[in-house]
Structure 1
Amino acid sequence: MKKPELLVTPQSVAHIEQLIEAGADAFLVGEQQFGLRLAGEFTIDDIEKSVILAHAANKKVYVAMNALYHNNRVDLLRPYMEKLESCGVDGITYGDPAVVMVKREADLQVPLHWNTEMTATNWFTANYWGKRGANRAVLARELSMDEVIEIKENAEVAIELQVHGMTCMFQSKRSLLGNYFLYQDKAMEIENRTSQKNMFLHDKERANKYPIFEDANGTHIFSPNDMCIIDELGELIDAGIDSFKIDGVLQEAPYVTKVTNLYRQAIDAYMESSEVYDEMKNDLLAEVEEIQPEIRPLDTGFFFKETVY
């Protein structure tokens, strides 16, 4: 039985040090000019420091380039990707085929992880991008447990799956909130990765609050609940899922570090034996619930069709 990678989104280089201690195996970093919905802003210098730090601990660093690029940004891709390869990053997460074309034209060797957020819903598409240079597919969040397992059984590429954190349910490439307030002649500072004081879209009928932030890629609205399947990992490990992702966007760093350690314990326990895991999983879930922000209830996302929004 293969042990899955535990992939986490850190907020800073210093946070990576804490996450290594907590048991993370890999880190997804980047900057908003090229990547979407990042937990922290990492310059090229930060990425280089992250790679040195992670590789010294036998960990991996992947860089998010999963934005969709207009013509004015295409010329920036090659020099950025060349710098990433010179830094020794272990992979690039992409959604736009322009990244594939740049890799070919520049004859780069850095591995590619296909991630389009919502359209990775079957193994045919995953294998299509595998034949065009990707060695991993990041599955959509809107999949059931059975669908995930079926994709893994037929995929010719590694499979990455989010197991904890917020789910993006809407994105516009426009600054919707900023434009709205400007229209009303009101100044408003959009709270994003520099502050954990989130803005919310309030649905009074369902008593839900949907977190919002804006960055260089537009407006992002997230689910009202946090996904958490720390007590449902057994089937996914048995199925051979290659990477479990904890998304720390809009969370405090200590929370992400603690959650990472709890998932580390869960994975290691199951690898020891399913009986050990079964004895621990309820306690591990209770520890997550104890630190969970009051306005962010936990659910199992779409794995068992609980999430409705």
Structure 2
Amino acid sequence: MSAKKKPELLVTAKNLDEARQLIHSGADALHIGGKEYGLRLPGHFTLDQIGEATEIAHQNNKKVYVVMNALFHNEMLIGLDEYIEKLAQFQVDGIVFGDPAVLMIAKKVAPQIALHWNTETTSTNYQTVKYWAKKGVTRAILARELSLEEVIDIKKHVDIEVQVQVQGMTCIFHSKRQLVTSYLNYTGQEIKNTSQERGLFLKEHKRPDERYPVFEDPHGTHIMSAEDICMIDHLGRLIDAGIDSFKIDGILKSTDYLIKVVQYYRIAIDQYVNGNEITVTTKDIQKIQPKNRPLGTGFYFKEQYY
């Protein structure tokens, strides 16, 4: 049996040490970014650190994509040209964007950098993907609300790379406002740390066992899913469909956990593309999964209602 096309295994990294370890654990590419322009990253890299991470990756024949998926207001455009020019000097392998402002400036000052389109929620059909491909986009990062069949159908109809998330939590709500701080002000409570490190979460009265992580940063308030996507049992269908990149999102996860997850997915991908039976399953990941984070398959196998 001939080997199948091997998809890229992509993972987020929160700092340089984690980036090194994830590369050596089997990741093909990294998602990193800075606090200026990146949303919902597990950690923030300065420009110099992005350059160092890119050098480390390239020494190991791996890639680095810089996440610039913020919601841009006018003031955020100041200095954007210089930032992207610096990324070009580092020879990063791609920029992840949602706002067309990033695309327009990148095409002007660094046309050699690949552009990965990621609007989080509106990448839901192949005609929209084709539109952005005509604008110069080389990869579409599909919405997490799509079913598996919809993902496969989009890939059939487009000529650019397609990326999907296979592991980790997802964002279910974002506001530019500081909602947690506003609530604490309203109730007269002392305002404490509301960042990722605080470990805040929301829960419903009717479903008290479900915990939704919530945190604030300069870009606003972010509420995350109550469970983690885990698609390791279904990689075969995604690989057969020709999906180009599988993302593991490591936000709010420890380095040790991420290393193990990357190793499991590396094994599974390599086994399948070489025609062998996959020997790792969701049960293996369940053994290392945080007890308050159940595993699921997101919307891949259930209908999404808007």
**TM-score, normalization by structure 2:** 0.95
Measured in 2, the distance between the counterparts of 1:163 and 1:107 equals 30
Describe the SS at the equivalent of 2:156.
helix
Measured in 1, the distance between the counterparts of 2:89 and 2:65 equals 13
Measured in 2, the distance between the counterparts of 1:133 and 1:265 equals 34
- Show the counterpart of 1:198: 199
Question: What's the offset of the Cα at 1:124?
Answer: 0.7
Residues 107 and 60 (structure 1), Cα distance of their counterparts in 2 relative to 1, 3 Å cut: closer
Q: Where do 5+ consecutive residues of structure 2 fail to align?
A: none
Question: What's the offset of the Cα at 1:285?
Answer: 1.8
- Show the counterpart of 1:156: 159
- Show the counterpart of 1:57: 60
Q: CA RMSD in A?
A: 1.6
**Cα pair 1:142 1:302 within 8 Å, conserved:** yes
- Does 1:300 pair with 2:297? yes
- Show the counterpart of 2:22: 19
Question: What's the offset of the Cα at 1:32?
Answer: 2.1
**Cα pair 1:82 1:108 within 8 Å, conserved:** no
Measured in 2, the distance between the counterparts of 1:148 and 1:189 equals 41
Measured in 2, the distance between the counterparts of 1:269 and 1:82 equals 40
- Does 1:262 pair with 2:264? yes
- Show the counterpart of 2:147: 144
User: What whole-Å deviation, never above 9, does each CA across 1:31-59 have from its counterpart, x for those lacking one?
Assistant: 12101100111110110110010000000
Question: What's the offset of the Cα at 1:308?
Answer: 9.2
Alignment of 1:8-157 (within 5 A): 8-157=11-160
- Show the counterpart of 2:283: 286
Q: Where do 5+ consecutive residues of structure 1 fail to align?
A: none
Question: What's the offset of the Cα at 1:190?
Answer: 3.3
Describe the SS at the equivalent of 1:8.
strand
Measured in 2, the distance between the counterparts of 1:23 and 1:118 equals 29
User: What whole-Å deviation, never above 9, does each CA across 1:124-158 have from its counterpart, x for those lacking one?
Assistant: 11111111011000000001110000000001210
**TM-score, normalization by structure 1:** 0.94
% same residue: 50
- Does 1:238 pair with 2:240? yes
Describe the SS at the equivalent of 1:128.
helix
Of 205, 213, 230 in structure 2, the residue corresponding to residue 228 of structure 1 is 230
**Cα pair 1:300 1:306 within 8 Å, conserved:** no
Counterpart AA for 2:97: Y
Residues 49 and 110 (structure 1), Cα distance of their counterparts in 2 relative to 1, 3 Å cut: same
Describe the SS at the equivalent of 2:149.
helix
Describe the SS at the equivalent of 1:291.
coil
User: What whole-Å deviation, never above 9, does each CA across 1:193-232 have from its counterpart, x for those lacking one?
Assistant: 4x2x411111120231111111111101011110001011
Question: What's the offset of the Cα at 1:106?
Answer: 2.3
